[in-house]
Amino acid sequence: MSRFYINLIFFVSFLALGLAQEEPIKKQRTDSLVYKQPYGVRVGIDLSRPLIGVLEDNYTGLEFVGDYRLTQNLYLAAELGNEKKTIGIELGSEINNAEGELYNFTASGSYLKLGIDYNTYGNWYGEQNMIYIGGRYAFGAFSQTLNTYKIFNSDRYWNPDDFAQGSTPNQEFGGLTASWLEFVVGIKAEMFKNLYFGASARLGFLVTNKNPDNFSNLFIPGFNKVTDGSRFGVGYNYSISYLIPLYKKSNKPKEPNSDSN
């Protein structure tokens, strides 16, 4: 009988020793795991500009978007685009109830935006989604064409029903430039493998703006509308892009906080 108890005590002691060693072994295996994430170039287009071109006859535009992953959360980003928009400035009912447009112009040109994005979203293992903030420096080169205009004159003795038409329509002002800074907030979600849908909102601050003689830039391609007395502008985009993986980089999981035990 005593031998049975001795063997039982020995078996329980051995089992307890094995369970005590199991936890460190598991931790050691967990610590050795690495997370390999794809790094590469993501390229795509902005969907909003072609859509606006379909809905509005006075607009055409195309923008290419791209980014390159530098670190776990930091990306180089760029946008390259072209826009052409025709805008009519209405007289308004406050000017002797005159109808029609005071002038009509077309802005056309290209722009380039360069900057960085920082991903603030902590992905689960295998996810590559982004909720990011970022900044851009943008430069645009464009032209303005004054299609038609009317001579504003409060004394309309010779033209009581309207203002007189200008004598030199279709004036083109070329060689115009502008630069601005943008603050960006956006998301990018992986809908299918390596295929992403994105959306962003932008607040721009106009740094330089070369106005033509006797005319003002009321629309700058890439910046959007220019408001009198303000250097700020707003914009947005909806993009679809594809990630071209170039390599994978290991990312070890964070060490657990020992204070929580």
137-184 per-position pLDDT tens digit: 999 999 999 887 665 555 555 554 555 454 566 788 889 999 999 999
Same domain, 122 and 199: yes
Span 201-220, average pLDDT: 90
**Is 255 among the domain residues?**
no
Same domain, 164 and 182: yes
Residue bearing the bigger pLDDT, 91 or 83: 83
**Number of residues that make up the chain:** 261
Residue 144 burial (CB count, 10 A): 22
Give the pair of three-digit tokens for residue 38.
Answer: 């794809």
**Is 48 among the domain residues?**
yes
Q: Which CATH number characterizes residue 209's domain?
A: 2.40.160.20
- 195: pLDDT strictly greater than 90: yes
Same domain, 88 and 193: yes
**Is 203 among the domain residues?**
yes
**Phi and psi dihedrals of 82, rounded to 5?**
-145, 140
> Residue 250's pLDDT band (boundaries 50, 70, 90)?
confident
Listed range (42-56, 63-77, 166-180) with the worst mean pLDDT: 166-180
Name the domain count of the chain. 2
Residue 106 has a pLDDT of: 93
Distances in Å between the Cα of 95 and the Cα atoms of 91, 98, 152, 191, 214 are 7, 6, 10, 53, 21
**What is the maximum span of the chain, computed from C-alpha positions, in angstroms?**
130
Residue bearing the bigger pLDDT, 153 or 241: 241
Same domain, 13 and 78: no
- 2: pLDDT strictly greater than 60: no
- Boundaries of domain holding 150: 39-247
Same domain, 2 and 48: no
**Is 261 among the domain residues?**
no
Same domain, 215 and 109: yes
Listed range (14-18, 53-57, 86-90, 148-152) with the worst mean pLDDT: 14-18
CB 172 within 8 A of CB 143: yes
